[in-house]
Amino acid sequence: MVPHDYIPKGAKRFAILPRGAYPLQLHLHLKTLAGARLMALVTERLEDVFLDFEYDHQAFRILELPDEYWFVVRDPKCPPQTMRSVLEHFQV
């Protein structure tokens, strides 16, 4: 997988976290983010995994890479507090 192929045009990568959980665990953890709505959990091949969700009227994607997760928001003008809330939720 080339990660840039999975970043929507015009979207913004706003964080990188070390990979410490499996995608299914991220999906389950997403359920505990109040107000978040799962849009898609894509596992085209084992190495091409991403999680799409909406939170606070914004569209997000988490891309799984071999050693890290990339956090992407579709709207580059997303409020910083919204991105911070998503990042803080997944840092625990």
User: Do 23 and 15 contact (CB within 8 A), yes or no?
Assistant: no
Query: Per-residue pLDDT for 4 more than 70?
Result: no
- Write the pLDDT tens digit of every residue in 34-57: 999 999 888 766 666 889 999 999
Query: Per-residue pLDDT for 7 more than 70?
Result: yes
When the pLDDT of each residue in the chain is averaged and rounded to a whole number, the result is 87
User: Do 19 and 64 contact (CB within 8 A), yes or no?
Assistant: yes
Q: What is the pTM of this model?
A: 0.87
CA pair distance 73, 8, nearest whole angstrom: 9
